[in-house]
Structure 1
Amino acid sequence: MYYKLSNTASKETLEKSLGRPFKYPQLYNENILINGFEEATIPVVSMNEKDVITPAIWGILPQNYQEDWSIFQNICNTLNTPLESMSTNLWYAKSLINKRCLIPVTGFFTSYLSNGVIHPFYFTRDLGLPFCLAGIYTVLDDGFLSCSIITCNADDIIRRVHNVGQTMPMILDEELHSAWLQEGVEMNEIKEILHTPHNYQIKSYPIARDFYKNNISYQSMLEPVFYDSVPTGLT
């Protein structure tokens, strides 16, 4: 389960990186840690509005859902959506056909178990540049979006510093962004996009174990912290 993200990019950096403006620039804030368990709002680029960056609730909800976000998430956590479940008849699988989105972040986190203790690892690009995760979304009755990150089997690089799970967020290279948002794409083409390895130079390193404490966030939290018997990360 990937329940925390980082987005430390400025509004201007995100707009330049994605080549489009924020629809509601006053709603975007830089965040060292975004906790998905707290009904967080994150920026996305959706098929509905390809030319702007819009806010979305992290944790996808059914199209006509009427109750509170927290009620649904306590029953069915949808911060992440496994790729293998997208070929089922489950309600959210339909979004893969016509409600795909880009989810820009500056980092995500994995966990490494060593000697009975779990240590967090941070994955990011040099200079904290943004990159995009593949996502799906729904449009709620009030017009607001809710979204989920598509996860896939972790590759060999991720597994080196993530031994408590077998998945990773689906990272999309920049040259695949337009294809991911294109309408009328057949399922076989969608699967081809999702199975294309990314070329981003992503690095990782261990960070402070305060990461696991809810509601704790401070400026230096994303800096490396090294431990005995724990990998130093990937560069």
Structure 2
Amino acid sequence: MCYETSLNKKLKVLEKTFDAQLKKDEEFEPYYHKSGFVHPNLYCIPIDQPGTIYPMEWGLVAPWGSKDINAFRKKYNTLNAKSENLLKSNMYKEAARERRCLIIVDGFFEPHHVNKVSYPYYCYLQDQKIFSIAGIYNELEDGKRTLSLITTEANDFFAEVHNNKKRMPLSMDPDFEGSWLDPGLSDMNLKELMQECFRKEAFKAHPVSRDLYKRGKDTNNPEILEEVDYNPDGLF
């Protein structure tokens, strides 16, 4: 699953790449590492305003959970939503049909397991350029938007990285980003799109410090992206 992301580019790079502007009166703060478990804001382009970049809180809240969000999140982990179950789940199917978004990142972290020990790997594109991941969202009564990041079955590369669960984020090829934000998609179109839209450009990955997993440790710094010496089983 994908519970950690990075986005350390300047706002003007995001706006130029996606031909979108940050929502008025919102602030943009680049970051080196965010953990979904503290429900931070991620920067997203929603289906209803494809020319606008919105901060959305990571961890989709269902309508029935909006009166007590803390209690809802203690019961449900909605940081990720599986593409295979998206249109079957009462939690996600309405959002999948009506409220899709592009989550803007320049990397994400996946666990690699050796002898029951988890080693974090940083995954990124050439030159660590920004890209999008498919997401869905709900809007609460106060206007706050909450999202889930969509994952899918790992390809050969990510099956080596995420060698336990064998999952990967549904990273979008630029040719399919517009289709993801098309409000006219049928369920069949959506299923076909999720099977075809994964980014064609190859990803890279390297191990990073296990400080990533330490509670109370400040990991929002450039050092967390640096490759470390250990390579527990010769991966890459």
Look up the equivalent residue of 2:201 and give its one-letter code.
Answer: Y
Shift in Å, 1:176:
0.7
Report the CA distance between 1:28 and its aligned residue. Answer: 1.4
Change (3 A) 1:213 1:191: same
Q: Which amino acid in 2 is paired with 1:102?
A: L
Distance in structure 2 (CA, Å) of the matches to 1:116 and 1:78: 25
Opposite residue 209 of structure 2, the aligned amino acid is: A
C-alpha distance in 2, partners of 1:190/1:215? 40
Which amino acid counterpart does residue 93 of structure 1 have in structure 2? Answer: K
Structure 1 gap ranges (5+): none
Corresponding residue for 2:19?
Answer: 19
Letter in 1 for 2:200: N
Contact 1:123 1:202 in 2 (8 A): yes
With structure 1 as the length reference, what TM-score do the two structures score? Answer: 0.93
1:202 and 2:203 correspond: yes
Contact 1:39 1:69 in 2 (8 A): no
Q: Is the 8 A contact 2:87 2:187 kept in 1?
A: no
Given the two structures, how large is their TM-score scaled by the length of structure 2? 0.92
SS of the residue 1:220 aligns to: helix
Equivalences for residues 90-109 of structure 1 within 5 A = 90-109=90-109
For the structure 1 residues 36 and 69, does the alpha-carbon distance in structure 2 shift closer, same or farther, using more than 3 Å as the test? farther
**8 Å contact from structure 1 (residues 65, 140) kept in 2:** no
2:224 match? 221
Map of 1:52-63 to 2, 5 A cutoff?
A: 52-63=52-63
Identity of aligned residues (%): 29
Q: 1:129 to 1:119 in 2, by over 3 A?
A: same
* Map 1:51-200 → 2, pairs under 5 A: 51-63=51-63, 65-196=65-196, 197-200=198-201
CA gap of 1:206–1:89, structure 2 versus 1, over 3 A, is closer
Superposed displacement of residue 206, structure 1: 0.7
Aligned residue number for residue 41 of structure 1: 41
Gap change, CA 1:24 and 1:70, over 3 Å in 2? farther
1:211 maps to what in 2?
Answer: 212
CA distance in 1 between partners of 2:39 and 2:89 (Å): 26
Q: After TM superposition, which residue ranges in structure 1, 4 or more long, deviate above 4 angstroms?
A: none
Instruction: Tell me, yes or no, if the aligned pair for 1:63 and 1:141 is still in contact at 8 Å.
Output: no
Cα gap change, 1:229 to 1:43, in 2 (>3 Å)? closer
Stretch deviating more after TM superposition (57-66 or 116-125):
57-66
Distance of 2:2 and 2:79 partners within structure 1: 7
Residues 35-82 of structure 1: CA deviation (Å, up to 9, x unaligned):
111121111111121110011111001135433433221110100001
Instruction: Name the SS of the counterpart of 1:53 in structure 2.
Output: strand
In the superposition, relative to structure 1, how do residues 179 and 168 fare at CA in structure 2: closer, same or farther (>3 Å)?
Answer: same
- CA RMSD in angstroms, aligned pairs only: 1.7
Cα shift readout 1:141-192 (whole Å, capped 9, x = no counterpart):
1122111011111111101122121211101111111111011111111112
Please list the CA deviations of residues 98-145 of structure 1 after superposition, one character each: whole Å capped at 9, or x if unmatched. 111000111111111223422111101122211100011111111221
Unaligned runs of 5+ in 2: none
Return the offset for 1:25: 6.5
